[in-house]
């Protein structure tokens, strides 16, 4: 009998942080990217800030372009190569 895995629903930045995931943003326009400091992000936006809302408000600080989100288990290894990048989050409307 195969072992069953517990499903994890990840819809907020707090859930990513609690479950040991890392979040990476990559700019679709200029190609810059970096891992996100989830500790700081949770402190700044709160643990209930949703990933869809974060995606809508995040943009590249270098060119203003749209970013893509990639999640991975933080324990899976070292951070992928990327350019240092601060996250610019547009205010909620």
User: How confident is the model over 19-69, as pLDDT tens digits?
Assistant: 888 888 999 999 998 888 889 999 999 999 999 999 888 899 889 999 988
pTM to 2 decimal places: 0.69
CA distance readout (Å), 91 to 25, 36, 72 = 18, 18, 26
- Cβ neighbours of residue 88 under 8 Å, at least 6 residues apart? 58, 59, 60, 61, 64
- The end-to-end CA distance of the chain, in Å, is 51
Domain residue limits, the chain: 13-74
CA distance readout (Å), 5 to 2, 8, 23, 26 = 9, 9, 22, 30
Alpha helices in the chain (DSSP H): 13-18, 38-45, 51-57
pLDDT tier at 92 (50, 70, 90 boundaries)? low
């Amino acid at each position: 009998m195969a072992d069953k895995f517990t499903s994890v629903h990840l819809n907020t930045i707090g859930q990513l942080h609690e479950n040991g995931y890392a979040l990476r943003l990559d700019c679709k326009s200029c190609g810059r990217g970096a891992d996100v400091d989830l500790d700081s992000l949770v402190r700044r936006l709160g643990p209930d800030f949703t990933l869809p809302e974060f995606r809508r408000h995040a943009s590249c600080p270098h060119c203003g372009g749209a970013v893509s989100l990639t999640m991975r288990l933080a324990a899976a290894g070292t951070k992928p190569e990327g350019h240092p990048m601060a996250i610019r989050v547009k205010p909620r409307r």
